[in-house]
Structure 1
Amino acid sequence: MKYLMLALCLSFSLAINAQKVKVNKQNFEVKGDRIFNEGKDVTETLSVENKNAIKKAIENKKEAELAKQNEKAKKEAKKIEKQEKAAENKRKKAEKTLAKKEKAQANFDKAKNNLEKAQKKRTKLKEKGKLSPVDEAKWDKKIGSLEEKVEKTKKKLK
């Protein structure tokens, strides 16, 4: 953006220094208050109407150049805005993906932890002899479902 503004200022300052304009099929060059035709100073020999016509033509030319530069600047600003928007969307997408991965990892860790706790508890109860055949079947079913859950969360991690 800095370079764009610098280019605008530079081109504007160059445009102010010497302006060439064509009026009444003659080419004139204006430097400051002086008007030149084919390298000769004709400021004093021109009529007031011609001087005004030349000045008006120069103003019109400057306005046209400024309008053109403004249009270029607007296009450049839109282009930059579009790039920034694309980068923002890309960043948001990456954040969402990261959040999904973190959630999947947390779910996997939780499921694995629950499975390990259930297996330890079943082992303790079995060692103490506090498991009946009906309780053992219930524990087998519970551990089986926990193992399935671990597998599902493991698939979501990938």
Structure 2
Amino acid sequence: MSVNSLGLPIKESTEIVNHLNVLLSNFQIYYQNLRGLHWNIRGKRFFDLHLKFEELYNDSQLKIDLIAERVLTLGGTPLHTFSDYISNSKLKVGKDISKDTEAIQLILESLSILLQIERIILEKSGEINDEGTNSMMSDFISEQEKTNWMLRAWLEEEI
């Protein structure tokens, strides 16, 4: 078995890089959706949601950088064009959303898809003892599960 400079199998690491690039693409769409929600939110909950969306997009921006850096660490090249992001994204693009419940629902749908992708990466990275990727996915998942719970509580929906 051929290994990279990190001691990880090259073939499986390349597969993880591909999954990370899918995650990167989806996070870029998620980030842009959050920016749009931040700019366009209206109504009585404007002040609270405007700040919350800013908090979420700032967090997403940090995660985007971490994902790209992990791709580089594993020897890959992070995707970096809008056409790549769009073609690899599974997220719905939120356009002209200004209603609070619709905005929160879009975020919840997006988080659900991000979590699915992250769980695939978590499983694949665990199989080859890629602790760096595994730890990052574990951290992302736990944070996003908490965000999911809080947003569902805001909507007063049962989990």
TM-score computed with the length of structure 1 as normaliser: 0.33
Bigger relative contact order (CA 8 A; separation at least 6): 2
Higher strand share: 1
Which of the two has higher C-alpha Rg? 1
